[in-house]
Amino acid sequence: MEYVLTMTFLTSGGLKSTLSINGVKPSLSKDMINALMDTIVAKNVFITKSGELVKKESAQVTERKITKFEVA
């Protein structure tokens, strides 16, 4: 199984922007995700077309099951 953390932020332009991280641990807690999102906003390292990330909107962890087929 693969887990993906998807975080949605509000930008200074008032729009939503989403950041996804593949391969996260399934044991991520709400506190860990909140701390990560707070750091992303505080450090201001991402800029989008609609401006800087200024506020947390939502987050979710998605479980993906990948089945690979060999097709020669």
Burial of 10 (0-12, 13-18, 19+ CB in 10 A): middle
> In the predicted model, is pLDDT for residue 72 greater than 90?
no
What pTM was estimated for this model as a whole?
A: 0.87
Q: In what order do the strands lie in the sheet with 51-64?
A: 16-22, 2-11, 51-64, 47-48
Q: Which of 8, 5, 6 is nearest to 48 (CA)?
A: 8
| Domain boundaries, given as residue ranges, for the chain | 2-64
Looking at residue 67, its amino acid is T
Q: What is the pLDDT of residue 66?
A: 86
pLDDT digits (tens, 9 = 90+) for 3-34: 999 999 999 999 999 999 999 999 999 999 99
pLDDT digits (tens, 9 = 90+) for 32-68: 999 999 999 999 999 899 999 999 999 999 999 888 8
Q: What distance in Å separates the CA atoms of residue 65 and residue 35, rounded to the nearest whole number?
A: 27
